[in-house]
Amino acid sequence: MDKILLEVKNLTVVLDGEKIINNLSFSINQGETLTILGPNGAGKSVLLRTLLGLIPYQGKINWNKKIKIGYLPQGLTQLSTKNQPLTVEDFFNLNITTLSKKEIIHFLKLVGLSEEILVKLIGNLSSGQFQRMLIAWVLIGKPEIIFLDEPTTGIDLGGGETIYSLLQKIKNERGLTIFLVTHDLNIVYGFSDKVLCLTRRGHRCFGSPKMVLTPQSMSEVFGMNVKFYKHQ
């Protein structure tokens, strides 16, 4: 039987007097990828941040054990770090897990980056390299679950697919559980075990991509006809 890692019951989040999430319940098993899908303002990032313990809430969030979490936040890009005098090596030294240079190189290689990148300023990396570096940075703490908030924002289509393939590979190798926030329906289909969709109007759906990602359900979520292709 699948082992439940997280169970959320009747979760309600209120920010500045506005109910962003209302009475939400779902669960996720260990080793699964759950994608949170929905338009802007539906509360996807709020849900992620609530599960991370960054926002106060009502209801129940039950983790089945004390778990190590990795987090790739939204909005952290090479452009937002442009003015920091940090090389890739310096950035790894900010991690609370202390690593030797050899270990840093090991993690860089894991995400397909070469040793030469260590001396580059993080603000000068390409967006794809920056995202890979962040994934390596998060993996250092040996997390059992990773929260990814729109990890391919600002990356072109090919680059985005490469990042997801990399995540899939790491997930399979390490038995990770992944929480992913994205708008990208095409990626969701090939990458997720479960999908949770949220809307501004309170409509929601939860289930396998095959069950949830129907044209009818997507037009409910996004408020218009949405076209996507199914990965085989």
Judge contact between 190 and 231, C-beta under 8 A: yes
DSSP structural state of residue 122: G
Judge contact between 168 and 191, C-beta under 8 A: yes
The correct pick among 10, 93, 172, 219 for binding other proteins (CB under 8 A) is 93
User: Which of these, 194, 182, 138, 187, lies nearest to 2 by C-alpha position?
Assistant: 194
Does residue number 165 form part of the binding site for other proteins (CB under 8 A)?
no
User: Which of these, 64, 60, 59, lies nearest to 5 by C-alpha position?
Assistant: 64
* Site residue total, other proteins (CB under 8 A): 36
Q: Please enumerate in sequence order all residues whose Cβ is within 8 A of that of 106, keeping only pairs 6 or more positions apart, or say none.
A: none
Closer residue to other proteins (CB): 45 or 192: 45
Closer residue to other proteins (CB): 132 or 194: 132
Does residue number 94 form part of the binding site for other proteins (CB under 8 A)?
yes
Judge contact between 46 and 20, C-beta under 8 A: yes
Does residue number 85 form part of the binding site for other proteins (CB under 8 A)?
yes
Place of tokens 């936040």: 73
User: Site mask, other proteins, residues 49-78, x = CB under 8 A?
Assistant: x--x-x--------------x-x-x-xx--
106: its two tokens: 């090991």
Q: How far is CA 47 from the centre of its chain?
A: 12
The correct pick among 90, 144, 193, 220 for binding other proteins (CB under 8 A) is 90
Site for other proteins in 95-154 (CB under 8 A): 95-96, 112-114, 117, 119-121, 124-126, 128-129, 141, 147
Site for other proteins in 15-54 (CB under 8 A): 49, 52, 54
Judge contact between 186 and 229, C-beta under 8 A: yes
Whole-number Å distance between alpha carbons of 70 and 204: 26
Does residue number 81 form part of the binding site for other proteins (CB under 8 A)?
yes
The correct pick among 4, 14, 61, 86 for binding other proteins (CB under 8 A) is 86
Residues that bind other proteins in the complex, under the rule CB under 8 A: 49, 52, 54, 69, 71, 73, 75-76, 80-81, 83-87, 89-90, 93-96, 112-114, 117, 119-121, 124-126, 128-129, 141, 147, 159
